[in-house]
Amino acid sequence: MTPQDQSRQTKALCQLAPVIPVIVIKDAGHAEGLARALVAGGLPVLEVTLRSDAALDAIRAMSRVSGGHVGAGTVLTPDDAKRAKDAGASFAVSPGLTDRLIAACEDLALPLLPGAVTASEVMRAADAGFDMLKFFPAEAVGGAPALKSLAGPLPRISFCPTGGVTPQNAGSYLSLPNVVCVGGSWIVTDADMAAGNWHAIEDRARTAAALRG
């Protein structure tokens, strides 16, 4: 799968809702209930970061939920990409981009949403064939104004900003012409997940699904 095909698929996923929940799961037993709540709330695209021992088992469980599209986040190496694909991830998200990761995702036919923040990083990703990128860490590198500045010289590149995105500033990102959606961790709290408080998570998901720029 070429980078061009990968970007077409990740862009289509990003267009399904204005927010992609970015989730750290420490107990895979919570995964299926969590996925059901998020999908019911109108957020079908879910990113489970590979930052816990339970992440791959969580991806396996969540990928069985009807209507959901589960991806793996914090994919850094070819081995991460392979393990994510084997666990049922339908896409991968990385904070950056390397030649080895490009080759691995091509071989695995795993759509990759790679990260880039500087003009040079964006140009390198575009040169490899990607035109749908993650902008991370968004707030730390200048937020919406920085991302807006990239739209002028690089109008064909679309972004999903993550990192410091909140309900208060999400609209400023979503109003930009080069932003398709945002990634946010506020929708799933550790407390609600541990308590199995799916109604609260579904309510936040529904509010996030209604966000507009």
Q: Which residues are catalytic?
A: 47, 134
What 3-state DSSP class applies to 34?
helix
CB 174 within 8 A of CB 212: yes
State the Cα–Cα distance between residues 18 and 88, nearest whole angstrom: 23
Kindly provide the residue ranges of all beta strands, DSSP E only, lying in 140-191, ordered along the sequence. Answer: 158-161, 182-184
CA angle 101, 74, 155 (to 5 degrees): 70
Q: Cα(first)–Cα(last) distance of the chain, in Å?
A: 32
CB 158 within 8 A of CB 180: yes
- Residues with Cβ within 8 Å of residue 79, at least 6 apart in sequence: none
State the Cα–Cα distance between residues 112 and 78, nearest whole angstrom: 12
The amino acid occupying position 181 is C
- Residues with Cβ within 8 Å of residue 190, at least 6 apart in sequence: none
What 3-state DSSP class applies to 194?
helix
